[in-house]
Amino acid sequence: MSTFDSPWDLIRQTASDRPIACCRPHLVRQAAKWFLSNFSGETLYAVKANPSPWVLKTLFEAGITQFDTASIPEMELVAEHCPDAQMHFMHPVKSRTAIARAYFDFGVRTFAYDCQAELDKILEVTGQARDLDLILRVGVSNQGAEMPIDGKFGASHHDVPALLMAARPNARKLGMSFHPGSQCMDPYAWSVHMDSLSRLIIDGGVDVDIIDVGGGFPVSYPGMEPVALERFPVVIQDAFDRMGLSREAELWCEPGRALVAEGTSVLTHVDLVRGNAVYINDGAFGTLYDAAHCKWPYPTRLIRNDGEHSPRLKAFKLFGPTCDSADVITGPIFLPEDIREGDVIEIGTLGAYGVSMQTRFNGYGETLDAFALDTPWQSVYEPRAVQTTKADWFSTI
Ligand SMILES: Cc1ncc(COP(=O)(O)O)c(C=O)c1O
């Protein structure tokens, strides 16, 4: 991997057909440090958000040594790049093979479950192990989240007391987790969920050792400005204190997006402009999955290597490189009216659910990685630290 001071330098020196992922470890490190100093409990990294080796290593070196893994390939990656990391299997539905490999090969001891059948499976496969930390994933409303993920996992509140009681005799530690939805803008969503967990613990009549408040912490995207991030750990700590658990009870969180979103942008190449359609070399089957399928807004800026572009903007849609007509970001995306072949569009805040969503469909979808040292967009962690490069941020997806 090479290091460049700005996208300009990178483009000048790289002749590649592939989109370029500009990796900014300093921004991932900044996010990690923020969680370590502001969140009073344990911060686990949700690997699914961005499993790139440089991300795993940067987080580990910054002090995030626990990882929320959801599959054996994710565990293999973490074990390879951060051999001293502690992994947790937080996927509520796992195959027997995956449970066995996690427990016996990777030393995983924390397993999530959200129903009796899954709990039985974990206990059977591990031979009724006595050293399991069992975390009951509880279903909660994802109101307040820009990207709801509810409805698939999570025990119903009705079933929670019995599921807690069922696991308690086998658990070294018994925990409860929930996910408020990704990019959850409202800190009080956490406190509402934690208050309901409290009531369910009373109904179950058992001691709970771990409260895992999930991911969902927001960052800044165009049109989605979270309240000051400091509010989130404060509200969560207040709610945790209200829960009246034992003094040894642990508070965990498992952010993905918030740790890595600011750490990567992608440089896409304009291959053709036809009317209001801009054909680029990344798209719905690449890092722009969320932009295409969820209309997720990202900051963008145009980079032209030779000369100025027009200050006047026009509405465009972006077509990705594959032959599928679904490979489109309808936007509208506002770009300089004279955008042309050879221009580069830099799409920012794409470090979460960007490279992790890439497919190889039609032979596309692989990015070239480069390290960049700038801080081109506003950070939720260091609001005053924007250090713009030669092109200005002027448009959004
Ligand atoms: C169990 C679990 N934990 C953590 C995360 C990370 O969430 P986010 O990226 O919103 O922080 C997810 C995302 O889907 C998840 O399913």
Does residue 329 have a pLDDT over 90?
Answer: yes
Same domain, 103 and 251: yes
Ligand 1 mean position, distance from CA 365 (Å): 23
Same domain, 91 and 183: yes
Residue range 248-255: average pLDDT?
A: 98
For the chain, the maximum distance between any two Cα atoms, rounded to a whole number of angstroms, is: 70
* Structural domain boundaries, residue 285: 3-22+262-396
Residue range 4-18: average pLDDT?
A: 76
Does residue 104 have a pLDDT over 80?
Answer: yes
Q: Is 137 in the pocket of ligand 1 (CB under 6 A)?
A: no
What's the pLDDT score for residue 393?
39
What's the pLDDT score for residue 382?
84
Ligand 1 mean position, distance from CA 368 (Å): 26
Q: Is 286 in the pocket of ligand 1 (CB under 6 A)?
A: no
Count the residues in the chain.
397
Same domain, 196 and 324: no
For the CA of 70, the closest atom of ligand 1 is 1
Q: Is 93 in the pocket of ligand 1 (CB under 6 A)?
A: no
What's the pLDDT score for residue 384?
63
Same domain, 186 and 291: no
Same domain, 245 and 291: no
Same domain, 321 and 372: yes
Same domain, 155 and 221: yes
Distance CA(147)–CA(182), nearest Å, equals 5
Crossing angle for the helix pair 72-81 and 53-62, nearest 10 degrees? Answer: 60
- How is 282-349 classified by DSSP, letter by letter? --TTTTTHHHHHS----EEEEE-SSSPPPS-EEEEEEE-SSS-TT-EEEEEEEEETT--TT-EEEE-S
Same domain, 14 and 62: no
Distance CA(373)–CA(261), nearest Å, equals 16
Q: Coil, strand, or helix at residue 153?
A: coil
- Average predicted confidence (pLDDT) for the chain: 93
Paired residues of 3 in beta bridges: 371
What are the tens digits of pLDDT across the range 335-354? 999 999 999 999 999 999 99
Q: Is 354 in the pocket of ligand 1 (CB under 6 A)?
A: no
Pairing mode, strands 395-396 and 299-303: antiparallel
What's the pLDDT score for residue 39?
98
Q: Which of 243, 260, 277 is the last residue of a domain?
A: 260
- How is 189-216 classified by DSSP, letter by letter? HHHHHHHHHHHHHHHHT----EEE--S-
Ligand 1 mean position, distance from CA 25 (Å): 21
Ligand 1 mean position, distance from CA 357 (Å): 14
Does residue 386 have a pLDDT over 70?
Answer: no
Q: Which of 260, 275, 297 is the last residue of a domain?
A: 260
> Residue type for 29, please?
R
Q: Which of 39, 74, 149, 260 gets mutated to test ligand 1 (max ligand atoms within 8 A of its CB)? A: 149
Q: How many domains does the chain have?
A: 2
Q: What percent of the chain has pLDDT over 70?
A: 96
Q: Is 49 in the pocket of ligand 1 (CB under 6 A)?
A: yes
Q: Is 126 in the pocket of ligand 1 (CB under 6 A)?
A: no
Residue 302's CATH number: 2.40.37.10
Does residue 391 have a pLDDT over 90?
Answer: no
How sure is the predictor about 392, in pLDDT bands with cuts at 50, 70 and 90?
A: very low
Same domain, 251 and 192: yes
Q: Is 256 in the pocket of ligand 1 (CB under 6 A)?
A: yes
Contacts of 120 (CB under 8 A, 6+ apart): none
What's the pLDDT score for residue 167?
98
Residue 275 burial (CB count, 10 A) = 7
Q: Which residue puts its alpha carbon closest to atom 12 of ligand 1?
A: 215
Q: Which residue puts its alpha carbon closest to atom 16 of ligand 1?
A: 179
Does residue 155 have a pLDDT over 80?
Answer: yes
Q: Is 68 in the pocket of ligand 1 (CB under 6 A)?
A: yes
For the CA of 183, the closest atom of ligand 1 is 10
Residue 68's CATH number: 3.20.20.10
Q: What percent of the chain has pLDDT over 90?
A: 86
- E-strand spans in the chain? 3-4, 20-23, 42-46, 66-69, 86-89, 110-113, 132-137, 145-147, 171-177, 182-184, 210-212, 250-253, 264-274, 277-280, 299-303, 313-319, 328-336, 344-347, 368-372, 395-396
What are the tens digits of pLDDT across the range 169-228? 999 999 999 999 999 999 999 999 999 999 999 999 999 999 999 999 999 999 999 999
Distance CA(43)–CA(66), nearest Å, equals 7
How sure is the predictor about 5, in pLDDT bands with cuts at 50, 70 and 90?
A: confident
Does residue 65 have a pLDDT over 90?
Answer: yes
Same domain, 207 and 185: yes
How sure is the predictor about 385, in pLDDT bands with cuts at 50, 70 and 90?
A: low
Same domain, 18 and 63: no
**Least reliable range by pLDDT among 58-67, 254-263, 300-309:** 300-309
Same domain, 248 and 267: no
How sure is the predictor about 387, in pLDDT bands with cuts at 50, 70 and 90?
A: low
Cis upstream peptide for 7 (omega within 30°): no
Q: Which of 260, 278, 302 is the last residue of a domain?
A: 260
For the CA of 184, the closest atom of ligand 1 is 10
Q: Which residue puts its alpha carbon closest to atom 4 of ligand 1?
A: 215
What are the tens digits of pLDDT across the range 136-148? 999 999 999 999 9
What's the pLDDT score for residue 390?
43
Q: Is 290 in the pocket of ligand 1 (CB under 6 A)?
A: no
Does residue 288 have a pLDDT over 70?
Answer: yes
How sure is the predictor about 14, in pLDDT bands with cuts at 50, 70 and 90?
A: confident
What's the pLDDT score for residue 4?
77
Distance CA(243)–CA(319), nearest Å, equals 50
Distance CA(130)–CA(364), nearest Å, equals 47
> Residue type for 19, please?
P
